[in-house]
Amino acid sequence: MKTTILGRTGLKVSRLGIGLAEIGMQNVKEIADVGHLLNSALDSGINFLDTSACYGISSSESWTAKAIENSIDRSLKRMNVDHLDLVQLHSCSLDVLKEGEVIEAIVKAKDAGKTRFIGYSGDNEAAMFAINTDLFDTLQTSFNLVEQHAKSKLFEIAVAYNMGVIAKRPIANGAWGVDTTPIVNFKSGYADEYFRRARLMIEGGPIPDAPSDRIELALGFVLAHSVVHTAIVGTTNLSHLQTNIAMVESQTYLSDNTLNELYRRFNDLGEEWYQLG
């Protein structure tokens, strides 16, 4: 598995990560299957796993300092470790960030040695605010071929702070090149919008030099950007996981013609499109 350094953290991470939101929605009777999937990912060299207390059976709490402290302590206990590698605030609002309580709590956890690094996961103005505090080591943000705003609005400043950059939703829920909105295993207000955008962009005709496989096109688009250190793809399907791994390992990145055409179509159509958080 190809790896890179996650910005100022210095951590060596796989360029393909696995998102656990869908796994978090599984029933307890399927735990054995989940274990097989995760072990297969680890055996293949994936070392970046993204989970959250708001992912279904993972459990959830509100945005308070106590909730953050409890969540971190619970994770330390469950994994029987004395520290975590990375804890991120998962898409709390700009207002919550400005109140300062959650930032103070996560910085306190880092200072106490409970986590080596801290980050923010989110989009738009909240992501910009988090970056500019210079307190966070990583930025996790939406980026894919139908959601390109991070490229023009967030990446440059994140790089200036030497942050690790993590792309969430890199295959846009598989919305490119399908006939109906993709079905997801959890509440998703953005899947329909990704599908709508994809259809509009596809109306422009074939993408020059594009690979025939739509997932390869989507993953190739994201990983063509070296600023993205890892792209997290969620799945509960072992076959899909193995295919994604093979794509990354054999990836010959998209041609300039393909990338430029995807940029052009997004820019022509998406002036009023808001980064989906």
The reply to whether 76 falls in a domain is no
List, for residues 33-52, the tens digit of each pLDDT value. Answer: 778 888 888 999 999 998 87
Q: How far apart are CA 172 and CA 125, in angstroms?
A: 21
pLDDT score recorded for residue 58: 46
pLDDT score recorded for residue 28: 45
pLDDT class for 273, splitting at 50, 70, 90? confident
pTM for the complete prediction? 0.90
The reply to whether 187 falls in a domain is yes
Query: What mean pLDDT do residues 233-259 have?
Result: 86
pLDDT at 30 over 70: no
List, for residues 171-212, the tens digit of each pLDDT value. Answer: 998 889 888 877 665 555 678 899 999 999 999 999 999 999
- Residues with Cβ within 8 Å of 40's Cβ and at least 6 positions away in sequence, in order, are 238, 241, 242
Percent residues over pLDDT 70 in the chain: 89
- The DSSP bridge partners found for residue 50 are 19
Output the domain CATH number for residue 230: 3.20.20.100
The reply to whether 157 falls in a domain is yes
For residue 252, what are the domain limits?
3-62+86-92+119-269
Pairing type for strands 3-5 and 84-90 reads unpaired
More confident residue, 201 or 240: 201
**Structural domains in the chain (count):** 1
Percent residues over pLDDT 90 in the chain: 66
The reply to whether 74 falls in a domain is no
pLDDT at 71 over 80: yes
DSSP 154-221: THHHHHHTT-EEEEESTTGGG-TT-SSPPP-SS--SSHHHHHHHHHHHHTT-PPTT--SSHHHHHHHH
pLDDT score recorded for residue 102: 95
Pairing type for strands 49-50 and 164-168 reads unpaired
The reply to whether 158 falls in a domain is yes
Q: How many CB atoms lie within 10 A of CB 63?
A: 17
pLDDT at 27 over 60: no
The reply to whether 108 falls in a domain is no
pLDDT score recorded for residue 29: 52
Q: Is 54 helix (H, G, I), strand (E, B) or coil?
A: coil
The reply to whether 22 falls in a domain is yes
Q: How far apart are CA 87 and CA 110, in angstroms?
A: 9
Q: Which tokens belong to 267?
A: 């820019």
pLDDT score recorded for residue 263: 97
The reply to whether 112 falls in a domain is no
pLDDT score recorded for residue 33: 74
List, for residues 74-130, the tens digit of each pLDDT value. Answer: 999 999 999 999 999 988 999 999 999 999 999 999 999 999 999 999 999 999 999
- Residues with Cβ within 8 Å of 174's Cβ and at least 6 positions away in sequence, in order, are 182, 214, 215, 218
